[in-house]
Structure 1
């Protein structure tokens, strides 16, 4: 199951804020991972962080996708910058700088793909989904 809000047929449906992205992710998780528990919470945190990082450090989001796989949910955020994310040193006296570390900690896999139009940051989170499960025998 894949959801790409950028391709939503409704005018003005492009996701512009982290709050909108989280709301879309909640709806996606209700369908693809209704029993996702802490995995679903991790997905929402990763959506927030990737979206906020793209807005703050890369000029904004140009694409946003969610994909459910067997026991996983992948969050992909596109932006127009070709600069890959950089971890900041963790200093509790300095605000910020924790997001990239949080994404890496919550994700089973994180990939950054630079392309002509910018980059895509994808994070795969372990989350119980209905994808790839065999139906129970009666």
Structure 2
């Protein structure tokens, strides 16, 4: 049997996006969101052969946890988590139903609590808040492999 032309007209596997989507509705699902991130990155490494550093594995789970926690705390209804590999980084995107952008507070070691976005911005290569027709989307990107040249910061609120 000749299979050479079987995939003719299909997009090559390497050109297809590497992503996962999930919906979360309860605060108990914050741990499930971290598990989703860990499973996704394990697959990125094992199936797709992309390097994922231990730092990236931990930072992505931390960012997912902080963003999902904020969505569950400040917005009614479900929240959506998208993870996608883009330009050597994991783009973490969380949508929630609240149109109110988060308050990004300045660093204050004396403040108790409300350090989540401060942490997310510190460990992310990129950070953005975007209003949508319904709710908002917060996106952060964490580099997959450790960058010996240092991190590149680019943060914006739209």
Normalising by structure 2, we get a TM-score of 0.69
* Residue 102 of structure 1 pairs with residue 114 of structure 2: no
The residue that corresponds to 2:43 in the other structure is: 31
* Residue 20 of structure 1 pairs with residue 32 of structure 2: yes
**After the TM superposition, which residues 1-138 of structure 1 pair with which residues of structure 2 at under 5 Å, given as runs?**
1-6=18-23, 14=24, 16=26, 17-33=29-45, 35-59=52-76, 61-128=78-145
Normalising by structure 1, we get a TM-score of 0.78
- Unaligned runs of 5+ residues in structure 1 are 7-13, 129-138
Report how many aligned residue pairs link the two structures.
Answer: 121
**1:125 & 1:55 partners in 2: Cα distance?**
22
Contact 2:106 2:118 in 1 (8 A): no
CA offset at residue 93 of structure 1?
Answer: 4.2
Contact 1:5 1:15 in 2 (8 A): no
Contact 1:112 1:120 in 2 (8 A): yes
- Unaligned runs of 5+ residues in structure 2 are 1-17, 47-51, 146-158
Superposition CA RMSD, Å: 1.8
